Amino acid sequence: MRWTWLVAAVLMACGGNEAEAPEAEAPEQAAAEAEAPAPEAEAAEEAAPAAPATPAPDGARVFFVSPSDGDTVTSPLHIVMGVEGIAIKPAGAVETGSGHHHIIIGPAGIPEGQVVPADETHIHFGKGQTEADVELEPGEHKLTLQFANGAHTSYGEVLASTITVTVE
């Protein structure tokens, strides 16, 4: 019973952290930066076990459509996320061969089987979004696109892609 409550709390915490779909807002308002979760949501997330990992389909990959690795960009940065060989589905049910995107601002992806945290450097796109505008400070930034299943459990490095951009 306690485990069920913790999983529900994690999913609700992640649901409040998702960026709005770009088509629902004007481009200048579609900022995808995540809000920090409430302290009790963070505690629930840390205590919750990861949902059982489902293997990534053979040949599946995620990638940045734009920007490209090494680009010099302005903020807000418009990001287009791509995927091949796996279905994009909203967060919720864990379905084999599906999941959704996360952008990690920083150098590392999330190991396979671990839940993607919900904080200001781990942006969730649990509504199935494939585009977002992200505010970044001037300077060099590593961005990792990490795909995860419906319970935000990472597929690991096989479904991750990292680029470096410089914000003017």
Higher per-residue pLDDT: 54 or 147? 147
Q: Give residue 50's pLDDT.
A: 52
**CATH, range 2-167:** 2.60.40.10
Residue 53: which pLDDT band, with cuts at 50, 70 and 90? low
pLDDT at 21 over 60: no
pLDDT surpassing 80 at residue 137: yes
Average predicted confidence (pLDDT) for the chain? 77
| Confidence at 107, pLDDT banded by 50, 70, 90 | confident
Higher per-residue confidence, 63 vs 30: 63
Residue extents of the structural domains in the chain: 2-167
pLDDT at 105: 97
Mean pLDDT score, 120-141: 97
- Cβ-based neighbours of 7, under 8 Å, separated by 6 or more: 48, 51, 151
Query: Does the pLDDT value for residue 145 go beyond 80?
Result: yes
